[in-house]
Amino acid sequence: MTRITKEIYQSLGLSDLLYQRILEILNRQPTLTELAMLSVEWSEHCGYLCSRKWLRLLPREGRFKTLIGEDSGGIIVDGWAIIFKMESHNHPSQVEPKQGAATGIGGIIRDIFTAGARPIALLDSLRFGNLDDPYNRYLLKGVIEGIQGYGNCVGVPTVGGEIYFEEAYTGNCLVNVMCIGIAKRDELKRARASGIGNAIIYAGASTGRDGIGGCSVLASAEFAEGEEKRPTVQIGDPFMEKCLIEATLEAIATGFVVGIKDMGAAGLTCSTSEMASSGGVGITIDLKYVPRREEDMQPWELMMSESQERMILCVKKGRERDICNIYSRWGLNAVVIGHVCPDKTVKVKHNGKIVANIPASALTNPPVFDMPYREPDYIKEIKKLNLSVLPLPTDYNSTLLRILASPAIANKHWVYEQYDHMVQVNTVVRPGLGAAVLRIKDSKRAIAATTDCNSRYCFINPYRGAQIAVAEAARNLICVGAQPAAITDCLNFGNPQKPDRFWYFKSCLEGIAEACRFLGLSVVSGNVSFYNENPNGAIYPTPTIGMVGVIDDVKMINTQSFKKDGELIIILGNSREELGGSEYLKVIHRMVCGEIPDLDLSLEMRTQEAVLNMIREGLISSAHDCSEGGLAVTLAECCVSQEEFMLGAEIDRLPCICRPDALLFGESQSRFVISASEEYFARIKQIAKENNVPLYLIGRTTKVRKLKILNYIDLPLEEIYKSWYNSFVNYLR
């Protein structure tokens, strides 16, 4: 047996403390295979050693009936299970953007269909450094190529998402991907093994050395200067994944599958140990049966490999051939590699010898650390903003055009036009018009989905910034007529062993938990991604929120663009003199500072309910939440976001007395811009009053193709459209 040295266990990401804990659990020196298995299962990516304590804050119940599985979760709607999850593939994408993003898509899709749900949509939330850096442009193009290449080929539409650019992401991009699936409630499966003697079947692609140590080496350590980790990035095959989807759903439909789990991070180790632990049983496997595409693979390599398009099934004894035949018909490997046993251990055999024998619970219940945290010294300074010395714009027209042209605000058609968002023909609202909307076939209901996070806000005030991420995601759904139902999160932060980094994580978790409880939202699934740092420091704290909502009647869907001439333009919610953390400050004054906007969760909920009621009653023609860029950007997008309408707006009054730049570009929360026929105005006012929501009539839509806001802004829509629509492409040249 190989003698385990400090150099060996540290190379696998294990600290002295963790190695000592392993010795205590086993009461002996581990084999090299056991050490490898424990290293990946005890990595932060799989084991959540630093984060698990705080994840318990998140509510698991909300206004809809909630499902919580081992790898994904969801809600119940009319007997349908809507299953969804978001995960990160940040570090692999920084190393190899195309394959990193592609395999991120493949992995999240597998988490959905292994629950028994057919994947129906993808969304992606991306963060890169500034686009004036050629390498950041390379990363962006590679990631988009990976998403479209895999998603388009596998036949799952990419229907929404977001892209932001901040210097903090240079050297460590973020690629967060979300998948939604649907199934009948009684068709779902869990990632659990049960039934002593039942078969353990390996299905899918062959195992290679790609991805070995991916979760422990890449996702549980910082990038160092000039570090090369390309061998740990997996290689994906979307055509094989498509076959795997169909074969798996067919296998589940037989009723012979007891449990099923994707071989994602930590590969065979994760799938066997977590299936055994969740089911309260043991699993024994023999590696000689594992399909492989490389010679002389060692047992520790086979157990650590993260080769893509693979999964483990627990199948009723005597039904192995039925299941294997299904996969064979789809051109896939399917072979019995082991069985369920009663002793609650994971045993691994190789060449007739047992090379690993570990209690399943020891693998899946690593130590939980109570990490120290401390507010960074610079927080008080970055919250300071003296508006009295901040110069006002000399030209509000050019100011608006510059903000509309910024990479964060500009239209991303270059991105979403590369995605097939209409495959499966469920997409009702196409990208660029608000939250994604997907019909539920044979039902009048529809699903809405969005992703959201203003990481700049979270950098300045993590507790409130995280709350705003939840609130804004909910507003996105409200605007299309959906009742927000539940969230999945992808929590991206720096090194948890640094107290100032962990303070951000703790504060964001507390903010998300409070906002979700107040708004009646459950957290059904998610992912934590730590160690997102480069030699210059950590990324902005980025607790990405993926939210799903339910539309009662697909005929009542709303979008953000003005549609009829002469309609009233109304603001719901309060506008204040709030410029801290705004896009305006960053783009025009090159400043990231100032306290971020206030958030009154009670007003937020009342305003959302008021707008949703107005949409359900058919009172309004458009609704758009007021967020990045403020009121002027919101109005501009309402004018130009749907080319077939392109109506102008005449704004002759505004709702507060404050600095003109704050009035136009401030990002006060809990606000909606709506348009409606004058005949409905009395009822709209009544709903606003019943919900105690401020309402301001500010102007009208017009056939004159320009945006006029008092005496500050007077711009032809063609000029607005050109700046907003064309600028993003220009950054990539």
Which value, to the nearest 10 degrees, does the dihedral of the CA atoms of residues 523, 525, 529, 530 take? 50
d(CA 93, CA 169): 12
pLDDT at position 410, please? 95
| pLDDT tens figures, 508-551 | 999 999 999 999 999 999 999 999 999 889 999 999 999 999 99
pLDDT at position 365, please? 93
Span between the terminal Cα atoms of the chain, in Å: 57
Q: Cα 528 to chain center, whole Å?
A: 11
- Do 104 and 88 form a contact (C-beta atoms < 8 A)? yes
Residue 216 has pLDDT above 80, yes or no: no
Residue 26 has pLDDT above 70, yes or no: yes
Q: How sure is the predictor about 225, in pLDDT bands with cuts at 50, 70 and 90?
A: very low
Helix axes 320-329, 238-253, angle to 10 degrees: 150
- Do 562 and 639 form a contact (C-beta atoms < 8 A)? yes
Known catalytic membership, residue 45: yes
94 contact partners, CB below 8 Å, separation of at least 6? 100, 139, 171, 172, 173, 223
23 or 422: whose pLDDT is higher? 23
- Burial, 575: exposed, middle or buried (Cβ in 10 Å; 0-12, 13-18, 19+)? buried
Residue 44 has pLDDT above 90, yes or no: no
Residue 316 in tokens? 């009723």
In a domain, 659, yes or no: yes
| pLDDT tens figures, 322-342 | 999 999 999 999 999 999 999
d(CA 439, CA 425): 9
In a domain, 380, yes or no: no
| pLDDT tens figures, 577-592 | 999 999 999 999 999 9
- Do 199 and 134 form a contact (C-beta atoms < 8 A)? no
- Do 577 and 659 form a contact (C-beta atoms < 8 A)? yes
Domain extent for 597:
558-733
Residue 190 has pLDDT above 90, yes or no: yes
- Quick one: average pLDDT of 34-57? 93
- Quick one: average pLDDT of 15-24? 93
In a domain, 290, yes or no: no
397: helix, coil or strand?
A: helix
| Helix (H) or strand (E) run with residue 679 in it | none
**For the chain, what is the total number of helices (H) and then of strands (E)?**
25, 28
CA distances from 303 to 111, 324, 492, 653, 660 (A): 19, 22, 27, 66, 62
Q: What is the residue-wise DSSP string for 458-516? A: HHH-HHHHHHHHHHHHHHHHHHTT-EEEEEEEEEE-S-TTSHHHHHHHHHHHHHHHHHH
d(CA 272, CA 557): 44
In a domain, 608, yes or no: yes
Q: Backbone phi, then psi, for 269, in 5-degree steps?
A: -60, -50
444 contact partners, CB below 8 Å, separation of at least 6? 552, 553, 554, 555
611 contact partners, CB below 8 Å, separation of at least 6? 478, 479, 572, 620, 623, 672, 674
pLDDT at position 426, please? 76
Residue type, 167: E
- Do 642 and 434 form a contact (C-beta atoms < 8 A)? no
Residue type, 368: V
Residue 422 has pLDDT above 80, yes or no: no
Residue 82 in tokens? 């809507």
647 or 433: whose pLDDT is higher? 647
Which of 45, 91, 350, 421 is labelled catalytic?
Answer: 45
Neighbouring C-beta atoms of residue 712, cutoff 10 Å: 19
Q: Where are the beta strands (DSSP E) in 495-620?
A: 522-529, 533-534, 537-538, 542-551, 568-572
- Burial, 76: exposed, middle or buried (Cβ in 10 Å; 0-12, 13-18, 19+)? middle
419: helix, coil or strand?
A: coil
pLDDT at position 427, please? 79
Q: How sure is the predictor about 616, in pLDDT bands with cuts at 50, 70 and 90?
A: very high
Residue 224 has pLDDT above 70, yes or no: no
Q: Which of 451, 416, 412 is nearest to 430 (CA)?
A: 416
Q: What is the residue-wise DSSP string for 80-148? A: EEEEEEEEE-HHHHHHSHHHHHHHHHHHHHHHHHTTTPEEEEEEEEEEE--TTSHHHHHHHHHHHHHHH
Instruction: Return the CATH number at 702.
Output: 3.90.650.10
Q: Cα 280 to chain center, whole Å?
A: 31
Q: Which of 585, 577, 605, 578 is nearest to 456 (CA)?
A: 585
pLDDT at position 1, please? 63
pLDDT at position 425, please? 63
Q: Backbone phi, then psi, for 166, in 5-degree steps?
A: -145, 145
pLDDT at position 214, please? 53
Which of 89, 91, 350, 624 is labelled catalytic?
Answer: 89
Q: How sure is the predictor about 218, in pLDDT bands with cuts at 50, 70 and 90?
A: very low
- Do 378 and 695 form a contact (C-beta atoms < 8 A)? no
Residue 223 has pLDDT above 60, yes or no: no
d(CA 535, CA 109): 33
In a domain, 587, yes or no: yes
Q: Backbone phi, then psi, for 194, in 5-degree steps?
A: -160, 165
| pLDDT tens figures, 311-324 | 999 999 999 999 99
Q: Which of 159, 9, 710 is nearest to 400 (CA)?
A: 710
d(CA 185, CA 516): 24
- Quick one: average pLDDT of 69-95? 93
Q: What percent of the chain has pLDDT over 70?
A: 96
Q: Which of 211, 106, 208 is nearest to 149 (CA)?
A: 106
Burial 439-460 (b: 16+ CB within 10 A, else e): bbeeeeebbbbbbbbbbbbbbb
Q: How sure is the predictor about 131, in pLDDT bands with cuts at 50, 70 and 90?
A: very high
Beta bridge partners of 445: none
In a domain, 660, yes or no: yes
d(CA 733, CA 728): 10
Q: How sure is the predictor about 196, in pLDDT bands with cuts at 50, 70 and 90?
A: very high
In a domain, 600, yes or no: yes
In a domain, 626, yes or no: yes
394 contact partners, CB below 8 Å, separation of at least 6? none
pLDDT at position 232, please? 56
| pLDDT tens figures, 397-407 | 999 999 999 99
- Do 616 and 549 form a contact (C-beta atoms < 8 A)? no
Domains in the chain, number: 1
- Quick one: average pLDDT of 454-482? 98
Q: What angle do CA 171, 630, 513 make, to 5 degrees?
A: 65
pLDDT at position 213, please? 61
Q: How sure is the predictor about 56, in pLDDT bands with cuts at 50, 70 and 90?
A: very high
Residue 727 has pLDDT above 90, yes or no: yes
pLDDT at position 45, please? 85
Q: How sure is the predictor about 222, in pLDDT bands with cuts at 50, 70 and 90?
A: low
Neighbouring C-beta atoms of residue 608, cutoff 10 Å: 26
